[in-house]
Structure 1
Amino acid sequence: MRTFHVHSFALLLLAACPGGDDGETDGAPTTTSSGATTEPATDGTSEPTGTTDAATDTGETTDAPGTTSAPTTGPLDTTTGTTTDSTSTTGTTDTTGTASTDGTDTDPSTGDPAMLPGDLLDLTNWKLTLPVDTDHPGSPDEIEQPELATFVDPLYYHLNDTLDGVVFRAHAGGDTTDNSGYPRSELREMTDQGAEEAAWSSSRGTHRMFIDQAITHLPVEKPHIVVGQIHDDEDDVIVFRLEGSKLFIDLNGDDGPVLTEDYQLGDRFTVAFEVSDDHVDCYYNDTFIYSHPQAFSGAYFKAGAYVQSSCQGEKEVPGESCDAYGEVVIYDVSVEHT
């Protein structure tokens, strides 16, 4: 098991959501250097406030209770949600904090309650894209290491009320990346301690991503969201997607296997991708579901809330409010390459 390095900081207190249309190659409140917007969310499921009708296209054309273990039929460790190999792109440290007596996770180095996303998730080799475009680097804003290690945003990226999961939220009026018309609050896989963008091949090695998560909110008019992706150098390859209550595997616009027809918001579940020999094996709640044959390169993993609805631009959904949003809570995410 890896030992997770964390940072214990005081949480900033401030006044004041892909069938074939998710698009991706990869406004609102201003974020500060510490990652906080000028308008706080009142809880883990409240509507964002103070958003603006921001720019339209994003960047990736593509681009409760459940189990918390990884697939028992796959190569992932069922007790930790990570694989046993130590050559992870997310470092060689434990990806979770230590549970406290009141059920919240704690910083293992101090025993104090987790206060930041970086206290719960190993963010060493990730960067974060937010659904806002401020004067922060990136368009829309991108939070990279080392800033990501201590970053929090009370609207779009923060701990949940029970301090055991990280909330990712994106609203239908959010800013988007260049080749997508949909907003996101989403992690993108990196390498070299977060300094370089990951780009690997389906034909060489074995590549795995595990996510323990719950979807907690959807946009109103088009209640669709992508919650885990493999993207290559041109488009999305395969994603986990929710449309209303149908949770399924999407194959770059084609419906793949259905995981459940009756997903209830707040239900916690696990998913995993494992790529080797030009196949993607997919797992849901510890069970192998499907193997997708496809060769691709320049690949990387993504995890978070990639909303598939917009109130503006080419992807505008009639009647969708710009304040409508999608939200995902991630309890654990890990990546391994062998």
Structure 2
Amino acid sequence: MKTIKHILRKLNLGLLVAGSVIYMGCEKDDTADVVESPPIVEEVPEEKPAENDYKLPEIDLSNWKVTLPIGNPSEVEPPEILDYATNENLKRFMYNDSTDGSLVFYTYPESSTANSSYSRTELREQMQPGSNNKNWTFEEGGKMRGRLAVPEISKDNDGDFHRVIIMQIHGRLTDEQRDLIGEDDNNAPPILKIYWNNGRVRVKTKVLKETTASDQEILHTDAWGDDEGFNFSEEVGHEAFTLEIKVTEAKMEIILNDDETVVYDSKHIQRWGIFENYFKAGNYLVSTDENAFSFVKYYELEVIH
């Protein structure tokens, strides 16, 4: 042991073994080696990359075209609409909000369609993608269900929110009906308009001005007037809510949040069976005020026939 100590003093060395210092000494005839245990290192699990916290809307746009408040106005049909996130014409007016998984529709007063004074960023159902010619009747029926919100909308000069149409059922003349009454397009009245109106959901439908009018006479748009409207009692405000439209022969039902329901099955609806129809959904701003605007978010949208 003396030899070892002599060598260590001479070389001025310390011995480091596996990260622990070994001390050596002697007392009288006894020798003792004191070895410090290596520090216990807890095994830290490898950090996994955080999962993406963004959400995307689960809405199939394969059977929808969209009308924009620009151009004449501009429209984008399938399949181009499927690339809305990178479409230069679309991405200002129709885009994802990945924080809540919604598809946002933005609009303001500018371009409008031939039969309206108002602008829109609105989807139009196309049962045959890329064509407006295939539609459905009340006898064939259909259902549209959506979860949506109106998070932001402008106010008028009186401080009231502007109105926005969020869902529709629009009528359409067949080519034969159009030619029969001498019209230059296939436009027919909308049998259903659903509004976001100052935080509540308001429903408007059409009624015949003369219930005794003939089948040919009721093909004319001016044969139909507006009903008094119906207001759901629940206030939805700017929060998300669910709307469902169910159509069967001679009957139309609108349901808010799977709770409150209004049903239309009068003689006016019965006569409506003469028309073809298509669903619409989105942001149809009912204002031409300067600086007016609206944002409508859709989280879910589904159509079944």
Shorter chain as denominator, the TM-score bin is 0.5 to 0.7
- The corresponding residue for 2:78 is 145
The structural deviation recorded for 1:193 is: 3.3
Instruction: Give the distance between the partners of 2:129 and 2:200, measured in 1 at CA.
Output: 36
- The corresponding residue for 1:209 is 144
What TM-score do you get using the length of structure 1 for normalisation? 0.57
Query: Which structure has the highest strand share of the two?
Result: 2
Indicate whether 1:332 and 2:282 are aligned.
Answer: no
Deviations 1:172-191 (A, max 9, x none): 2x200001000000000002
Matched positions, count: 208
Partner of residue 105 from structure 2, selected from 168, 171, 186: 168
- The corresponding residue for 1:244 is 198
- The corresponding residue for 1:84 is none
Instruction: Give the distance between the partners of 2:95 and 2:129, measured in 1 at CA.
Output: 22
Partner of residue 104 from structure 1, selected from 44, 54, 66: 54
Stretches of structure 2 that go unaligned for 5 or more consecutive residues are 1-49, 173-187, 207-225
Amino acid at match of 1:291: V
Structure 1 194/104 Cα, relative in aligned 2: closer, same or farther at 3 Å?
farther
Equivalent positions of 1:283-322 (< 5 A) are 283-287=255-259, 289-293=261-265, 294=269, 295-296=272-273, 297-310=275-288, 320-321=289-290
Amino acid at match of 2:126: M
Query: Which structure has the highest helix share of the two?
Result: 2
CA contact under 8 A between 1:213 and 1:270: conserved in structure 2? yes
Structure 1 275/103 Cα, relative in aligned 2: closer, same or farther at 3 Å?
farther
The structural deviation recorded for 1:244 is: 1.6
CA contact under 8 A between 1:157 and 1:169: conserved in structure 2? yes
Amino acid at match of 1:177: T
CA contact under 8 A between 2:285 and 2:293: conserved in structure 1? yes
- SS of equivalent residue, structure 1 residue 149: helix
Instruction: Give the distance between the partners of 2:228 and 2:52, measured in 1 at CA.
Output: 41
What TM-score do you get using the length of structure 2 for normalisation? 0.63
- The corresponding residue for 2:167 is 228
Partner of residue 263 from structure 1, selected from 236, 239, 251: 236
Highest RCO, 1 vs 2 (Cα 8 Å, sep ≥ 6): 1
Instruction: Give the distance between the partners of 2:227 and 2:54, measured in 1 at CA.
Output: 39
Instruction: Give the distance between the partners of 1:288 and 1:101, measured in 2 at CA.
Output: 39
The structural deviation recorded for 1:149 is: 0.7
Amino acid at match of 1:302: K
Instruction: Give the distance between the partners of 2:124 and 2:233, measured in 1 at CA.
Output: 26
Q: Pairwise CA RMSD of aligned residues?
A: 2.1
- SS of equivalent residue, structure 1 residue 191: coil
Stretches of structure 1 that go unaligned for 5 or more consecutive residues are 1-99, 106-113, 134-138, 311-319
Following TM superposition, the consecutive aligned residue runs of length 4 or more in structure 1 with deviations greater than 3 angstroms are: 100-104, 193-198, 260-263
Instruction: Give the distance between the partners of 1:125 and 1:305, measured in 2 at CA.
Output: 18
Deviations 1:229-255 (A, max 9, x none): 011121111121122233221124334
Rg larger in 1 or in 2? 2
Task: Using the aligned pairs only, state the percent identity.
Answer: 25
Instruction: Give the distance between the partners of 1:197 and 1:127, measured in 2 at CA.
Output: 13
